[in-house]
Structure 1
Amino acid sequence: MSATASAPGRPTTAPATPAAPPRMTRRQKLVLVLLLGSQFMVAVDFSILNVALPAVGAGLGFPLADLQWIATAFALAAAGFTLLFGRVADLVGRKRLFVAGMAVLGVSSLIGGLATSPEVLLAARVLQGLATAAVTPAGLALLTTAFAEGPLRERALGLNGALMSAGFTAGAILGGLLTDLLSWRWAFFVNVPVALLVVALAPRTLTDSRPAERVRLDVPGAVTVTGGLLLLVYGLTQAGAAGWTAPVPLAALLAGAVLLVGFWFVEKRAAAPLVPIRVLRRRSVVWGNAAGLIAFVTETSLVFLLTLYLQEVLGYTPLATGLAFGVLGIGTVLGGTLGGRAVGRFGSRRTIVAGGAVQAAATLALVALGTSGAWIWLLLAATFVGGVGNMLAIVGFMVTATSGLPDEEQGLATGLATMTQQIGITLGIPVMSAIVTARAGADTGAGAVLDGVTVAVLVNALLVLGGSLLAGAFLAGRGQTPVRRTYTDGHGMPHQ
């Protein structure tokens, strides 16, 4: 900035005028579209088969009691291997793992759509889960390393969260439509062209940095954490069906906890740990992921509770239920688009707390639901507002959990965040289902179901409020205060 004279001999400096905020380059926009499209597809896979499970069972001869394994096989692989693959992405290259994962996802989807026996379908679901465990953290790491910390990364993570959440809702709607209009097999086939397109475009669009020297994989750490997560997820899924005190889920949960504790001690002694202890001790990582866990536990389980309400109390069909959740999807998209701006203006800590408070207030309003069909309007309004709040909290969680770590550890950071997401999705439904069952007992009438749902909704609201306030309290004073950014060069690079 040059000096100008306002009076002879009295030079003054003109005030700096902030340039426009940084803008995405054309290449960054292409990267964003490619990665967001793939993450949306992965999110759709989480829910697309839920509505179609009865049709799948009838088509392939699944016994009713075994239908849960279609979802469990996917959840076990997706949650159990996500942390391992997140770290592998740092070691061997995120682009390489991302492209390989998308290829496996396309092939496994084709196998699932062509399956003629339960065994083949379950094998396809395991492969889909493994592919998801590779694609999600690798894709998120490619996203965070494509955008430096600051407004562009916050915006990208906000859009990513919005589309992933919208994908969960879209999966339920799309699954119902495809099953009713075509066949449950199209719930698998729809992935194939998307995977092919991503595999064709990714090598030329994405860039990746590799470590200067190859580090050996921490095998003991990989075995203990993967085994612990597999047992934990298995115990959670079985607890929902058999009860929390049944021998099998209880043994699995205890064994999983022992392995995860053992993982901590293994990492303390490892020369090249899978997850360095210094990372696990970071408040931003610990409490950012804690906030994310609460956000996923509460919102995904709320969808389960409201599905019970809509179908068992109001008598909605599965397709009508899926369409009703479209309003929730709109709310999450809005929350995701606002999330990056909120983090940039108020900081991730305040965004997490505000998002949790909004979600809790909206969830608490659902305690008033009754047996009349007119209550659908309260449900639609509350889920819309709650979706906005939930996504604000999730964007705050993603920014917090991935900030302050170098690019070479972004796969680790996104692997931890993805693991949090997977466990939250798995944990919420068994917990809320147990509350409903304990309250309703053996009575399956509309009144008893409504009573159980009401109590579980109240617990849900208190959980999200308490969790977000607790995370906000522990994140206070740790660099979560927003900063005013100014931009001085033509490339839009921020500095303080």
Structure 2
Amino acid sequence: MSVVQFMVSLDLSVVNVGLPQISESLGFSEVGLTWVIHAYALTFGGLLLLGGKIADLMGRKRLVLMGLCLFGIASLAGGFATEPGHLVAARAGQGIGAAALAPAALALLTATFPSGQERVKAFGVWSAMNAAGAAFGVLIGGLLTEYAGWEWVMFVNVPMVVVALALTWRIVADRPSGDRGRPDVLGAVLATAGMGLLVFGVVRTDQYPWTSSTTLMTLAVAVVLLAAFLYVEKTTSRDPLIRLGLFTHRSVVGSNLFIFLLGGAMTSAFYFISLYLQGVLGSGPARSGVQFLPFAVGVVVGSVLAIKLGGRLAPRMVLAIGGMLTGIGFAWFSLFTADGSFVADVLGPSLIASIGIGLCLGPIASLATGGVPAHEAGAASGLLNSSRQIGAALGLAALSTAANARTGDSGTLESLADGYALGMTIGAVIVVAGVLVALVVLPRTVPGADGGGQH
């Protein structure tokens, strides 16, 4: 399951560095090129809730196997793309596969390790692979783009799919939910359409400003659809996509709020750091990728520390410590200058922030599914992934808008550095807000989410 999560996280960032070469090779327009990213984000974010529910109904192992096959085929097709439409369709296929994989894999992990120190260890390993996938994506994307060609940012998934298929096949088959009931088709349609439109409206703010009629109308329709979805879930006589009773769990509410905030800040940080390295410090794709290595190493270190602390501290305290370290690292990044250097401006804050992120990801996934009935683990996992994806889309759009407003039209290195610094400052504030959520909303103890002790 960690291999699966590494691959899904990797795919969120591995393509970014290769975009200029992709544009030149396939003849993308400037606007069309953004759909290489948007196609994945839309299908992934829009289908996560549905993927979580299907995992509960069909069985998590079966859905992981199906999702892996689709993800692998789409990756292969994307590498062989000869025109823009082919690659965008392949990226959409990857997003559908990932929407099946992510909640099913997390639910399977939850069912396999229901409580105790083994759960802490399992989620520690999973979280290390989760965040390392995003960080290594920049490194791998840069090296492959520069030395092998952009096609390999798609092909790289294929061997990982083969390994994950072989490992998943050996897992003892899990049982699907015994009481299937009648499927909530209307709820599924409303949730998928609402989530998809929400992500669609946010990711297009680079073309249509937040105050434009296009963006406002898209977001308004998304809100109406999601409100209708909640009403249907409350009143339906069918098997709901998300049982609203899940939101009576403080651990579920707090975990989703925390990952929403952390996801927005973390995704934006990867974006600003990459732009600063390449646009201000002048690093090439491969060198920028290598400079992300300390970040990846720090995430692994943080995940190991989370395992060590998991048996001694309440999960929310581990989150608070991780969040504060992440916020300190992001605040340090906000000192970006035009005449800076990798060692002075990037290395130190990378280590602090990445250790903090590593401390957060395992406990938050464990908390979001701890104490949730076994037959709803997939739904809870889908909800957590949805919160992270929506947070990432909203955070990146909002923070990049603020950074662009600070940069203005001058395009000087000084103005670029100022814009990226502002984005990191806002990111630090968002992470601190997440720490407050952890301390105020999350309960002191969550069944099945701690290291076996009572806190």
Give the TM-score category using the shorter length: over 0.9
Q: 1:44 to 1:138 in 2, by over 3 A?
A: same
**Cα distance in 1, alignment partners of residues 348 and 66 from structure 2:** 41
Structure 1 residues 349-358 or 318-327, which shifts more?
318-327
2:369 aligns with one of 402, 417, 425 = 402
How far the C-alpha of 1:480 sits from its partner, in A, is 8.6
**Cα distance in 2, alignment partners of residues 246 and 483 from structure 1:** 46
How far the C-alpha of 1:305 sits from its partner, in A, is 1.5
The TM-score with structure 2 as length reference comes to 0.95
Q: Which residue of 1 aligns with 2:397?
A: 430
Q: Which residue of 1 aligns with 2:242?
A: 275
Q: Is the 8 A contact 1:292 1:393 kept in 2?
A: no
**Cα distance in 2, alignment partners of residues 458 and 481 from structure 1:** 36
1:384 and 2:351 correspond: yes
Q: Which residue of 2 aligns with 1:463?
A: 430
Q: 1:92 to 1:353 in 2, by over 3 A?
A: same
**Cα distance in 2, alignment partners of residues 363 and 455 from structure 1:** 10
Q: Which amino acid aligns with 1:139?
A: A
Q: Is the 8 A contact 2:201 2:219 kept in 1?
A: yes
How far the C-alpha of 1:57 sits from its partner, in A, is 1.4
Q: Which residue of 1 aligns with 2:221?
A: 255
Q: How does 1:52-71 map to 2 (within 5 A)?
A: 52-71=18-37
Q: Which residue of 1 aligns with 2:65?
A: 99
Q: Which residue of 2 aligns with 1:23?
A: none
**Cα distance in 2, alignment partners of residues 117 and 375 from structure 1:** 37
Q: Which residue of 1 aligns with 2:112?
A: 146
Stretches of structure 2 lacking an aligned partner (at least 5 in a row): none
Q: Which residue of 2 aligns with 1:184?
A: 150
Q: 1:139 to 1:363 in 2, by over 3 A?
A: same
Cα deviations by residue, 1:143-181 (Å, 9 ceiling, x for unpaired): 111112221112111111111111111111111111211
Q: How does 1:41-440 map to 2 (within 5 A)?
A: 41-271=7-237, 272-374=239-341, 376-440=343-407
Cα deviations by residue, 1:228-282 (Å, 9 ceiling, x for unpaired): 1000100110013332112222221111111111111111101221111110232
How far the C-alpha of 1:213 sits from its partner, in A, is 3.3
Larger RCO (alpha carbons 8 Å, 6+ apart): 2
Structure 1 residues 185-194 or 289-298, which shifts more?
185-194
Q: Is the 8 A contact 1:110 1:189 kept in 2?
A: yes
**Cα distance in 2, alignment partners of residues 196 and 38 from structure 1:** 11
Measured on the aligned residues, the alpha-carbon RMSD in Å equals 2.0
**Cα distance in 2, alignment partners of residues 484 and 329 from structure 1:** 25
Q: Is the 8 A contact 2:2 2:126 kept in 1?
A: yes
Residue 79 of structure 2 aligns to a residue in which SS?
helix
**Cα distance in 2, alignment partners of residues 384 and 113 from structure 1:** 34
**Cα distance in 2, alignment partners of residues 206 and 241 from structure 1:** 48
Q: 1:366 to 1:197 in 2, by over 3 A?
A: closer
How far the C-alpha of 1:313 sits from its partner, in A, is 2.1
**Cα distance in 1, alignment partners of residues 423 and 447 from structure 2:** 33
**Cα distance in 2, alignment partners of residues 131 and 290 from structure 1:** 25
Q: Which amino acid aligns with 1:325?
A: F
**Cα distance in 2, alignment partners of residues 301 and 483 from structure 1:** 30
**Cα distance in 2, alignment partners of residues 293 and 204 from structure 1:** 33
How far the C-alpha of 1:350 sits from its partner, in A, is 0.8
Cα deviations by residue, 1:333-370 (Å, 9 ceiling, x for unpaired): 11112223323321111111111111111211223232
Q: Which amino acid aligns with 2:91?
A: R
Q: Is the 8 A contact 1:343 1:482 kept in 2?
A: no
Q: Is the 8 A contact 2:46 2:195 kept in 1?
A: yes
Q: Which residue of 1 aligns with 2:408?
A: 441
Q: Which amino acid aligns with 1:410?
A: A
**Cα distance in 2, alignment partners of residues 384 and 179 from structure 1:** 26
**Cα distance in 1, alignment partners of residues 442 and 270 from structure 2:** 29
Q: 1:483 to 1:301 in 2, by over 3 A?
A: closer
How far the C-alpha of 1:485 sits from its partner, in A, is 4.7
Q: 1:371 to 1:413 in 2, by over 3 A?
A: same
Q: Is the 8 A contact 2:120 2:451 kept in 1?
A: no
Q: Percent identity?
A: 35
Q: Is the 8 A contact 2:139 2:289 kept in 1?
A: yes
**Cα distance in 2, alignment partners of residues 346 and 409 from structure 1:** 27
Q: Which residue of 2 aligns with 1:474?
A: 441
**Cα distance in 2, alignment partners of residues 147 and 483 from structure 1:** 11
Q: Which amino acid aligns with 2:110?
A: T
Q: 1:459 to 1:83 in 2, by over 3 A?
A: same
Q: Is the 8 A contact 1:291 1:352 kept in 2?
A: no
**Cα distance in 2, alignment partners of residues 314 and 168 from structure 1:** 22
Residue 334 of structure 2 aligns to a residue in which SS?
helix
Cα deviations by residue, 1:439-485 (Å, 9 ceiling, x for unpaired): 12212111111222222222111111122213321224564999885
**Cα distance in 2, alignment partners of residues 342 and 266 from structure 1:** 42
May I ask how many residue pairs the two structures share in their alignment? Answer: 454
Q: Is the 8 A contact 2:115 2:452 kept in 1?
A: no
How far the C-alpha of 1:374 sits from its partner, in A, is 3.6
Instruction: Provide runs of 4+ in structure 1 moved above 4 Å.
Output: 476-486
Q: Is the 8 A contact 2:326 2:356 kept in 1?
A: yes
Cα deviations by residue, 1:278-302 (Å, 9 ceiling, x for unpaired): 1023211111111111111111101
Q: Is the 8 A contact 2:251 2:443 kept in 1?
A: no
Q: Is the 8 A contact 1:92 1:210 kept in 2?
A: yes
**Structure of larger gyration radius:** 1
Q: Which amino acid aligns with 2:156?
A: V
Q: 1:199 to 1:375 in 2, by over 3 A?
A: closer
**Cα distance in 2, alignment partners of residues 77 and 471 from structure 1:** 30
Q: 1:386 to 1:201 in 2, by over 3 A?
A: closer
